[in-house]
Structures are given as structure tokens and as C-alpha cells.
Amino acid sequence: MIRSAISFAAFLLLSPLLLGVVTRVKAIFAGRTGAPLLQPYHDLRRLLGKGAVYSRTTTWVFRAGPVVGLAAVLCAGLLLSFGGAPALLAFPGDFVLFAYLLGLGRFATALAALDTGSSFEGMGAAREVTFASYAEPALFLCLVVLASATGSLSLTGMLGDALPDVWHGQGPTLLLAAVALFGVALAENARIPFDDPTTHLELTMIHEVMVLDHSGPDLALIQYGASLKLFLLGALVVRLGLGLPLASPEASLAAFLAGMLAFAVVVGAVESTMARLRLTRVPQFLVASSVLSLLALVLLLR
């Protein structure tokens, strides 16, 4: 339980740091100094100290969106095993709840965008849920691959001590699942090549356009929730990729945190070396992730 609590605390405290690492890597590729690594923490503190402005056309749905979105991601974090430590909340079939909690957070954000009555934000919400309908099958298939490979219906069992033995016998299968999960992580977090979190071009905005009317503490909740979601999906990729037995729990946690740092560096490198895909190409990329996951499942069950 102590290991689980420490891992969850790292999840809560270090998530914004991932965004700082991504931003710094992009700055290095561009030959700039860039913002400090701790800039996301300063941004959250600044937003929490401001007041919120609400349009008279919005209802309680708009105000509830950031709270529900953050609560859903936090609950999903309770179900995930970080660094091989057991999850704080684990039961058979919890991977289904994990995926649905991520979907609930997206639904709350999209509903808040629609509540503004803005056609611009409605466009972003429509794009978000459309691309999510392609990403969610790939995520589910990857989780089914893990469940079939480890013989466990709990995320703690899937990402626990049984994973090194599975890598020994089903390495190519898990590698396909890890590649598919990485693509899903980029799509779910609105990163390049699926979306550009820094863009302000109307024709290409997806996630960012949904939160244009949020300000102050509400925007802080959204940004913190986005960093937690990046950490969650990155943790799936890292734990799946680091399926090696280690000497001690402390070594496992250290290797996991190093893997999360490497994940952020890779995300920054991808965003620095790839262009954003055309909107018509995004579904094709996500379908390819689903195909990789399905191929992994076929190889596993053959």
C-alpha cells in the first residue's frame, strides 16, 4: 500500500513536469532556449490565482465540465499500476472502467463546449468525439491483448509481475501493442501529428478550441487534467515497454520514472520532426493503430 501511495503521489506531482520536458525538447530542436521545465507549475499557480469569467448563455454544464473531466482522470489514476506497484483500487474488469473514465472526461469537456452555443467550439467538439471513436477501439484492443497475455482482467495484474514472463514468450505481440498504444496516447492527448496544442488556426484546431471560453481556475483544472491524462497513457506505454524483472521495488519505480522522462522526450522529438496530419488522414492513422492491436491479438491467440 505504501508503494502504491508513493506511485500515486508521483502521478499527481510529476504530471505537469512531463509537459515541461516536452516543451523543452521542442525548444532544443528549434534552437531556442525555451521555457523553464517548471513553467507548467507556474502557469497552474497563475491561473488558480485569477477569477473566472462566465458567459450569460452558459449553464451549470459549462462550469461542471472542468471538474468532471479532472475527477474522471483522477479516478482512472486510482485504477492504474505505476512502476509495478499495485493500484490503489483494483478489481477484475477494472480496465473497462479505466477506458470509460477517460471517455467520461472527454464527454464532459465536449458537452461544456457545446453549452457555450458557439459554432466554433461545437466544431471542435464534433472533431474531438469523431476522432475518439477511432482511438477508443485501439485502446480497448490493446487492453484486451494485455488481458489475454497475462491472464488477468485487472490492470494491476496486466502491468504487474507477470509482464516479464509474457515479454519472454510474446515479445513481438507486446511490441505491436506498445506501438499502437503510443499512437493512441498522442491522439488522446491532442499532440502532433493529430493535433497541435499551440495552434490558433481555426481550420486545424480540435481540442484547444473546446476550452477557449474557460478561464482562471477552470482552465487550470483543464490543463492539469490534460497533464494527468498524458501521464496515464504514457504510463501504459512505459510499463508495457519496460516489462523486465528488476531487483527491488525501488529500482522498479526509478526505472518507471526514467521511462516516463524518455516518453516525454520522444513525444517532444515526434512533435519537432513531424508535421500535423491533414484532418482526413487522422482517421486512417488511428485505424492503423487498431489494426496493429488486432494483429497483436491474432498473434497472441493463434
CB-based contact 206:196 (threshold 8 Å): no
> Coil, helix or strand for 204?
coil
Q: Number of helices (H) and strands (E) in the chain: give both, helices first.
A: 11, 0
CA pair distance 153, 143, nearest whole angstrom? 9
What domain range is 146 assigned to?
A: 2-301
- For the segment 62-88, what is each residue's pLDDT rounded down to a tens digit? 999 999 999 999 999 999 988 777 899
Give pLDDT, residue 33.
Answer: 85
Give pLDDT, residue 62.
Answer: 95
Number of folded domains in the chain? Answer: 1
Length of the chain: 302
CA pair distance 183, 231, nearest whole angstrom? 14
The amino acid that residue 242 corresponds to is: L
Give pLDDT, residue 246.
Answer: 58
CB-based contact 227:11 (threshold 8 Å): no
In terms of Cβ atoms closer than 10 Å to its own Cβ (0-12, 13-18, 19+), residue 93 is exposed
The amino acid that residue 236 corresponds to is: L
Give pLDDT, residue 265.
Answer: 95
Give pLDDT, residue 277.
Answer: 84
Give pLDDT, residue 254.
Answer: 85
Residues of the chain with pLDDT under 50: none
Give pLDDT, residue 201.
Answer: 66
Q: The dihedral of CA 115, 139, 180, 280: what is its sign?
A: negative
Phi first, then psi: give them for residue 172, nearest 5 degrees: -60, -35
